[in-house]
A and B are shown apart, each in its own frame.
Chain A
Amino acid sequence: MALPLRYSVGNLLARRTRTLLTLGVVAVVVLATTLLLSLVSSLRRTLVTTGGPSNLIVMRKGATNDGSSALPLEAYQALRFFEGVGKSPEGEPLVSPELVVQPFFVRRDGGRENVLVRGVEPAALAVHDSVKIVEGRMFEPSQGEVIVGTGVAGRYAGAAVGETLKFGRGTWKVVGRFKSGGDSFESEVWADVRELARDAKRPLPYSGFRVRAAPGTDLDAMIRRIDDEPRWAMEAQRETEYYAEQSKSADALYLIVIGLAVLSGIGAICGATNTLYASVQARTAEIGTLRALGFSRATILTAFLIESLLMAFAGFAVGGALAGILATGISRALGGVGFSAVTFTTNVIDLRVGASDLCWAAALSLVIGLIGGWFPALRAARLRPVEALRRA
């Protein structure tokens, strides 16, 4: 004979303050963990999805990122004729020479940040085919025009299409906005590489190159060939690998989030256990009566466990919903959360609570409910009917 669900629910409602407080604890733990989880996974998502599967990034040997690399014009010219380089429909080699600069930008709310400005040629759009212009158009070379990633558009002063951006030594007209599947390109501004080089007065014109390999090319062999090129100290890497390595900077943060989840989870368990123990104590007579009536130990155990799980679940529902609302709210209010990338520039993260984040939060709540409720439920189940009734 099982106890109806109404028994557990009814008991929770009867001691409203205690239930609410414990629910509150779980909700807050879920909220905090989910927010941080979503930050890390949003960050990861941004970094990990960046990069085309058949693209290579070529930098100077030893450079860890294309912001701190420099290669000469001759290297570009040689690379164009490398074996394995893909060709556009018009027959042009798909090699995008790029210059990475990190000027100051002013945020809409007044703060100052480094933003990655990438000097490119029209070939860039062909090589980085994840980048799609969604508003306006591509810039015309030598016209002082730029296009901005969608993360940039909302965050900095003068960055919307039609406005004028002020960075480097001049002013630039924003003629287009692009999206790139939520990756880190969306935190960049693209300009004409020659104009940018002039503006930044760089000794060497390029930071590095992005290469699209021809279909069917052995990428590893190509990478080796580029690395072994004797004239210029170049180093090639799969674009996807390059960005994946950058996401390692988020690993320390991940550790912290896990630590936080574990510790706060333990705290919540203590809270839940406390509440349930008190509940068991207060209902000793009731339990004795139930046992005397013939309900088994397992039934009592289950009923109390269900109470614990219900509280935890309700906490998860509240905490998760709040996290979703807060994340979107914060993201919107701050113009994205700025996370500083390895290139000393700002990655604009659109903070979003994803399904996987909620799954982890649900798992955490489940653990809290189970472990928190286990010992009190066990004690309730073990109460001997006669003792229980007598104590009352």
Chain B
Amino acid sequence: MSWSAFLWRNLSRNKVRSLLTGGAIALAIALVCFLATMPDGMNRILEQVATNTRVVVHNEAGLVYPLPYAYMQKVRAMPGVVAVTSWTWFGGVFKEEDGISFPNFAVEPDAVGETWPDYGIPKDQLEEFKHRRDGAIVGGGTLKKYGWKVGDQVTLKGTVFPVDLTFKIVGTIPNERAPHFWFQREYLEQAVKAAGGTFDFLGTIWVRVDDPSRLDPLARQIDETFHNSDAQTSSENEKSYFKNFFGALEGLVFLIMLVTALVAVCIVFIAANTASMTVRERMREIAILKAMGFSRRSVFGMLVAEATLLATLAGAVGAFTSLGLTRLVRYASGSWNPTMGPLASFIVSNTILVEGLFLAFFIGMVSGIVPSYGAARRNVVQTLREVF
């Protein structure tokens, strides 16, 4: 027999109680892990894009306000600029019943490859995109959603623009979560002109710089250049852009964090309750152990270890259950969603699993401390007197 065997035996002493407590803790940890996916997803996206060397230029008034196309030339000429592309929201619908189910943009075909080299679009597809006026590059997610493949023809009906456009898919962004749909700006310009309109503006400008240290100076330079023009710009690096985008979800996220904290508090209560019940029932045994010569510290340690072991095991079960939970929700809610964007995918990362585990461990330990401390300190003789 050893310390660990003794510990384990104590846990299996009252199987129903251990199971109930473990079950409650497992559930709670599963919840915590699941709820954590949204803020975690946000952090991971922010970290990923933090290393990118891209600047976003938009109208200071808002994302929906246009910028004059003429700005492109000035920005292209600035120092440190590797690639520049315009990026204009077309807002086309594929199936009218679905509405706008993926984001579609008019872009500069010569520049997209270099602006987003990290997207990994195959070189030959990029070449084709440059040469075919009606070509389109579609992200893996949208391809999957509608069952399209490279070579298919697709028509998008305009909602904001008074034109409908037909494309041939020439390439893809090889990421099955990418919802993008890119096509040539000139194609849209021709169509608008044919319908009797003019198209001399753009939505946002994406710039890739050669060095990360140039991100902020370039952003400042751009804003200063257009400060006194009709359309003032607001430029920021990619990370800041996404941060602001997530800012819209702030209220929701706050509530989720609050609820998560509450659930964690619940776990403490449950674990502490069990620990206190267990300790109370074992008063006599504890007295005998102390009589035998087990120090206060070792008795305390044993009780806390028991609570911690149960909580950690339960936490492990809970953390893995959360994987199943998220799969369920993903299935029910679909992928791209204008309000939540990539966050709707509810992915439980390994980090979340580990954090969930640590939470369980920590809580088990903390919840066991108060009742165990009291029990360990209790005067042996007093207990013996009461019991015998």
Contacts and interface: CB of A to CB of B under 8 A. Distances in A.
Contacts of A255: 329, 332-333
Nearest to A269: B24
A344 B281 CA distance: 58
B332 A252 contact: yes
A70 B162 contact: yes
Contacts of A18: 273, 276-277
Contacts, number: 211
A390 interface: no
Contacts of B254: 330, 334, 337
A359 interface: no
B62 A271 contact: no
Interface of B: 16-17, 20-21, 23-25, 27-28, 30-31, 60-66, 91, 93, 96, 99-100, 157-162, 197-198, 201, 230-232, 244, 247-252, 254-255, 258-259, 262-263, 265-266, 269-270, 272-274, 276-277, 281, 325, 329, 332-333, 337-339, 344
Contacts of A273: 20
Residue among A203, A266, A339 with max Cβ neighbours from chain B (10 Å): A203
Nearest to A250: B339
B273 A275 contact: yes
Contacts of A35: 255, 258-259
A200 B277 contact: no
Contacts of B281: 278, 281-282
Chain B residues touching A, majority SS: helix
A36 interface: yes
Contact of B265 (A28, A201, A344): A28
B62 A32 contact: no
Given A32-B259, A260-B31, A267 B270 contact: yes
A267 B266 contact: yes
B252 to A, nearest CB: 6
A264 B28 contact: yes
Residue among B269, B281, B333 with max Cβ neighbours from chain A (10 Å): B269
Given A70-B162, A103-B62, A339-B252, 8 more contacts: A17-B276, A21-B273, A28-B266, A35-B258, A39-B252, A103-B61, A167-B62, A168-B65
B157 A61 contact: yes
Interface string A356-384: 00000000000000000000000000000
Contacts of A63: 91, 93, 99-100, 159-160
A270 B66 contact: no
Nearest to B255: A39
B262 A32 contact: yes
Contact of A277 (B17, B64, B66): B17
A67 B99 CA distance: 13
A346 interface: yes
A156 B309 CA distance: 50
B259 A263 contact: no
Given A68-B159, A267-B266, A340 B248 contact: yes
A334 B251 contact: yes
Contact of B159 (A62, A111, A282): A62
Nearest to A17: B276
B248 A114 contact: yes
B55 to A, nearest CB: 17
Contacts of B100: 63-64, 68
Among all A-B residue pairs, the 10 with the closest Cβ atoms: A64-B99, A103-B62, A337-B251, A270-B24, A21-B273, A340-B248, A63-B159, A62-B93, A338-B251, A267-B24
A185 to B, nearest CB: 19
Interface in A200-214: 200-201, 203-204
A346 B248 contact: yes
A85 interface: no
A267 B239 CA distance: 39
A60 interface: yes
B369 to A, nearest CB: 14
A349 B255 CA distance: 13
Interface in A333-357: 334, 336-342, 344, 346, 349
B95 to A, nearest CB: 9
Nearest to B367: A21
A296 interface: no
A274 interface: yes
14 contacts: A18-B276, A61-B157, A104-B61, A169-B230, A201-B65, A256-B329, A264-B263, A267-B23, A267-B266, A274-B24, A330-B255, A338-B248, A341-B339, A342-B338
Contact of B277 (A260, A274, A341): A274
Given A103-B61, A103-B62, A271-B24, A203 B259 contact: no
B160 A70 contact: yes
Contacts of A101: 62, 64-65
A267 B23 CA distance: 7
A72 B99 CA distance: 21
Contacts of A249: 337, 339
A388 interface: no
A339 B273 contact: no
Nearest to B67: A201
Nearest to A111: B247
A270 B21 contact: yes
A113 interface: yes
Contacts of A203: 161, 197-198
A264 B332 contact: no
B250 A111 contact: yes
A112 interface: yes
A369 to B, nearest CB: 16
A270 B20 contact: yes
A336 B252 CA distance: 11
Contact of A271 (B16, B248, B265, B273): B273
A62 B23 CA distance: 49
A344 B338 contact: yes
A67 B272 CA distance: 52
Contacts of A336: 251
A25 B17 contact: no
